[in-house]
A and B are shown apart, each in its own frame.
Chain A
Protein backbone atom coordinates (compact mmCIF):
# COMPACT_ATOMS: atom_id res chain seq x y z
CA UNK A 1 0.00 0.00 0.00
CA UNK A 2 1.22 3.49 -0.85
CA UNK A 3 1.32 5.77 2.17
CA UNK A 4 2.29 9.33 3.01
CA UNK A 5 4.13 9.98 6.25
CA UNK A 6 2.69 12.43 8.76
CA UNK A 7 5.85 12.30 10.88
CA UNK A 8 9.52 11.55 10.44
CA UNK A 9 10.04 7.81 10.26
CA UNK A 10 13.18 5.79 10.97
CA UNK A 11 13.35 2.88 8.56
CA UNK A 12 15.70 0.11 9.64
CA UNK A 13 19.06 0.48 7.94
CA UNK A 14 18.13 3.60 6.01
CA UNK A 15 18.16 7.34 6.43
CA UNK A 16 15.11 8.66 8.38
CA UNK A 17 12.26 9.47 6.04
CA UNK A 18 10.89 13.00 6.23
CA UNK A 19 7.30 13.92 6.96
CA UNK A 20 5.39 14.03 3.68
CA UNK A 21 7.39 11.21 2.06
CA UNK A 22 5.25 8.93 -0.08
CA UNK A 23 6.33 5.33 -0.52
CA UNK A 24 5.00 1.77 -0.59
CA UNK A 25 5.01 -0.74 2.24
CA UNK A 26 3.29 -4.04 2.94
CA UNK A 27 -0.38 -3.84 3.85
CA UNK A 28 0.31 -4.99 7.42
CA UNK A 29 2.95 -2.32 8.03
CA UNK A 30 0.76 0.35 6.42
CA UNK A 31 -2.13 -0.56 8.72
CA UNK A 32 0.21 -0.36 11.72
CA UNK A 33 1.55 3.06 10.75
CA UNK A 34 -1.92 4.42 9.95
CA UNK A 35 -3.31 3.07 13.22
CA UNK A 36 -0.50 4.77 15.17
CA UNK A 37 -1.10 8.02 13.31
CA UNK A 38 2.27 8.04 11.56
CA UNK A 39 0.90 7.84 8.06
CA UNK A 40 -2.18 8.07 5.87
CA UNK A 41 -3.01 6.15 2.74
CA UNK A 42 -1.65 8.02 -0.28
CA UNK A 43 -4.14 10.62 -1.47
CA UNK A 44 -6.02 10.85 1.82
CA UNK A 45 -6.08 13.89 4.10
CA UNK A 46 -4.71 13.54 7.66
CA UNK A 47 -7.17 13.96 10.51
CA UNK A 48 -6.54 16.76 13.05
CA UNK A 49 -5.50 14.27 15.76
CA UNK A 50 -2.80 12.81 13.50
CA UNK A 51 -1.53 16.29 12.66
CA UNK A 52 -1.00 17.26 16.33
CA UNK A 53 1.67 14.63 16.92
CA UNK A 54 3.77 15.26 13.86
CA UNK A 55 6.99 16.09 15.71
CA UNK A 56 7.53 12.56 17.03
CA UNK A 57 9.67 10.03 15.23
CA UNK A 58 8.69 6.39 14.94
CA UNK A 59 11.62 4.03 15.63
Chain B
Protein backbone atom coordinates (compact mmCIF):
# COMPACT_ATOMS: atom_id res chain seq x y z
CA UNK B 1 0.00 0.00 0.00
CA UNK B 2 1.33 3.42 -0.95
CA UNK B 3 2.72 5.68 1.74
CA UNK B 4 0.25 8.30 2.91
CA UNK B 5 0.73 11.73 4.43
CA UNK B 6 3.95 13.69 4.64
CA UNK B 7 6.69 11.24 3.78
CA UNK B 8 9.39 10.38 6.26
CA UNK B 9 12.69 10.94 4.46
CA UNK B 10 14.14 7.79 5.99
CA UNK B 11 11.95 5.74 3.66
CA UNK B 12 13.60 7.04 0.49
CA UNK B 13 16.82 5.27 -0.42
CA UNK B 14 19.36 5.40 -3.21
CA UNK B 15 19.74 2.08 -4.99
CA UNK B 16 22.69 1.53 -7.31
CA UNK B 17 22.33 -1.43 -9.65
CA UNK B 18 19.45 -2.80 -7.52
CA UNK B 19 21.34 -2.63 -4.20
CA UNK B 20 20.63 -0.04 -1.52
CA UNK B 21 23.59 2.17 -0.64
CA UNK B 22 24.36 0.97 2.87
CA UNK B 23 24.46 3.15 6.00
CA UNK B 24 23.08 6.14 4.09
CA UNK B 25 22.16 9.23 6.06
CA UNK B 26 20.95 11.44 3.21
CA UNK B 27 19.81 11.11 -0.37
CA UNK B 28 18.55 13.54 -2.95
CA UNK B 29 17.64 13.99 -6.58
CA UNK B 30 17.91 17.30 -8.36
CA UNK B 31 16.36 17.96 -11.77
CA UNK B 32 16.67 21.06 -13.86
CA UNK B 33 16.10 22.44 -17.34
CA UNK B 34 18.19 24.98 -19.19
CA UNK B 35 16.35 27.72 -20.98
CA UNK B 36 16.98 29.56 -24.22
CA UNK B 37 16.75 33.29 -24.10
CA UNK B 38 14.27 34.32 -26.77
CA UNK B 39 14.04 37.96 -25.79
CA UNK B 40 13.64 40.32 -28.70
CA UNK B 41 12.62 43.89 -29.30
CA UNK B 42 9.06 42.56 -29.32
CA UNK B 43 9.32 41.39 -25.67
CA UNK B 44 8.23 44.73 -24.20
CA UNK B 45 11.29 44.87 -21.97
CA UNK B 46 10.67 41.47 -20.38
CA UNK B 47 12.73 38.34 -20.86
CA UNK B 48 11.14 35.62 -23.01
CA UNK B 49 12.30 32.05 -22.53
CA UNK B 50 12.06 28.81 -24.48
CA UNK B 51 12.70 25.26 -23.32
CA UNK B 52 16.22 23.80 -23.26
CA UNK B 53 18.16 20.75 -22.14
CA UNK B 54 16.88 18.81 -19.14
CA UNK B 55 19.42 17.34 -16.74
CA UNK B 56 19.78 16.12 -13.22
CA UNK B 57 21.80 14.43 -10.55
CA UNK B 58 21.31 12.04 -7.67
CA UNK B 59 23.37 12.30 -4.50
CA UNK B 60 23.86 10.15 -1.45
CA UNK B 61 25.74 10.60 1.82
CA UNK B 62 26.55 7.68 4.09
CA UNK B 63 28.64 6.44 6.96
CA UNK B 64 31.74 4.64 5.75
CA UNK B 65 32.05 0.91 6.48
CA UNK B 66 34.62 -1.10 4.59
CA UNK B 67 32.46 -4.23 4.74
CA UNK B 68 29.26 -2.50 3.60
CA UNK B 69 27.10 -4.49 1.18
CA UNK B 70 27.19 -1.50 -1.17
CA UNK B 71 29.54 1.32 -0.29
CA UNK B 72 32.84 2.96 -1.13
CA UNK B 73 34.36 -0.27 -2.44
CA UNK B 74 31.70 -0.71 -5.11
CA UNK B 75 31.62 3.01 -5.91
CA UNK B 76 35.39 3.05 -6.41
CA UNK B 77 35.01 0.25 -8.95
CA UNK B 78 32.41 2.31 -10.81
CA UNK B 79 34.66 5.36 -10.68
CA UNK B 80 37.70 3.43 -11.95
CA UNK B 81 35.76 1.75 -14.75
CA UNK B 82 33.87 4.91 -15.78
CA UNK B 83 30.82 2.74 -16.43
CA UNK B 84 27.21 3.82 -16.35
CA UNK B 85 25.09 2.78 -13.39
CA UNK B 86 21.37 2.45 -12.94
CA UNK B 87 20.47 4.60 -9.95
CA UNK B 88 17.05 4.54 -8.35
CA UNK B 89 15.63 6.87 -5.71
CA UNK B 90 12.78 4.99 -4.14
CA UNK B 91 10.95 3.85 -1.03
CA UNK B 92 10.32 0.46 -2.68
CA UNK B 93 6.88 0.60 -1.11
CA UNK B 94 4.26 -0.66 -3.54
CA UNK B 95 2.27 2.24 -4.97
CA UNK B 96 4.87 4.91 -4.15
CA UNK B 97 6.57 6.93 -6.87
CA UNK B 98 10.23 6.46 -7.71
CA UNK B 99 12.89 8.02 -9.93
CA UNK B 100 15.34 5.94 -11.94
CA UNK B 101 18.05 6.91 -14.40
CA UNK B 102 21.27 5.87 -16.05
CA UNK B 103 24.10 7.77 -14.41
CA UNK B 104 27.81 8.31 -14.21
CA UNK B 105 29.47 8.54 -10.84
CA UNK B 106 31.03 11.99 -11.07
CA UNK B 107 32.04 12.68 -7.50
CA UNK B 108 33.08 10.58 -4.51
CA UNK B 109 34.33 12.23 -1.35
CA UNK B 110 35.43 10.38 1.79
CA UNK B 111 35.88 12.30 5.05
CA UNK B 112 37.52 11.06 8.21
CA UNK B 113 37.68 13.38 11.21
CA UNK B 114 39.31 12.55 14.53
CA UNK B 115 37.02 10.59 16.85
CA UNK B 116 34.08 10.92 14.52
CA UNK B 117 32.33 8.65 12.03
CA UNK B 118 34.09 8.31 8.70
CA UNK B 119 31.63 9.40 6.05
CA UNK B 120 31.39 9.63 2.29
CA UNK B 121 29.22 11.27 -0.30
CA UNK B 122 28.69 10.37 -3.93
CA UNK B 123 27.13 12.26 -6.81
CA UNK B 124 25.68 10.70 -9.93
CA UNK B 125 25.07 12.78 -13.05
CA UNK B 126 22.07 11.59 -15.04
CA UNK B 127 22.68 10.64 -18.67
CA UNK B 128 19.51 10.51 -20.75
CA UNK B 129 15.92 10.47 -19.61
CA UNK B 130 14.64 10.11 -16.07
CA UNK B 131 12.02 7.46 -15.38
CA UNK B 132 9.37 8.60 -12.92
CA UNK B 133 7.02 5.75 -12.20
CA UNK B 134 5.24 3.79 -9.48
CA UNK B 135 6.68 0.90 -7.49
CA UNK B 136 4.84 -2.30 -8.49
List residues of chain A with CB under 8 Å of any chain B CB. 1, 11-15, 17, 21, 23-29
| Residue ID in chain B nearest A9 by CB atoms | B69
**Cα–Cα, bound, A12→B69 (Å):** 11
List residues of chain B with CB under 8 Å of any chain A CB. 13, 15, 17-20, 22, 67, 69-71, 73-75, 77-78, 81, 88, 90, 92, 94, 135-136
Q: Is there contact, CB below 8 Å, between B136 and A24?
A: no
Q: Is there contact, CB below 8 Å, between B135 and A24?
A: no
Q: With a CB–CB cut-off of 8 A, which chain B residues contact A27? A: 92, 94, 135-136
Q: Known: A1-B92, A23-B20, A27-B136. Is A14-B73 also a contact (CB below 8 A)? A: yes
Q: A34: shortest Cβ distance to chain B, in Å?
A: 13
Q: With a CB–CB cut-off of 8 A, which chain B residues contact A28? A: 18, 136
Q: Is there contact, CB below 8 Å, between B70 and A14?
A: yes
Q: With a CB–CB cut-off of 8 A, which chain A residues contact B19? A: 11, 14, 23-26, 29
| Residue ID in chain A nearest B78 by CB atoms | A13
A-B pairs with beta carbons under 8 Å apart, 17 shown? A1-B92, A11-B17, A13-B74, A13-B77, A13-B78, A14-B19, A17-B69, A23-B70, A24-B19, A24-B20, A26-B15, A26-B19, A26-B88, A27-B92, A28-B136, A29-B18, A29-B19
Pick the 7 closest A-B CB pairs, nearest first: A13-B77, A29-B18, A14-B74, A23-B69, A24-B20, A13-B74, A26-B18
**Cα–Cα, bound, A12→B20 (Å):** 13
Q: With a CB–CB cut-off of 8 A, which chain A residues contact B13? A: 24
Q: Is there contact, CB below 8 Å, between A21 and B69?
A: yes
**Cα–Cα, bound, A28→B92 (Å):** 10
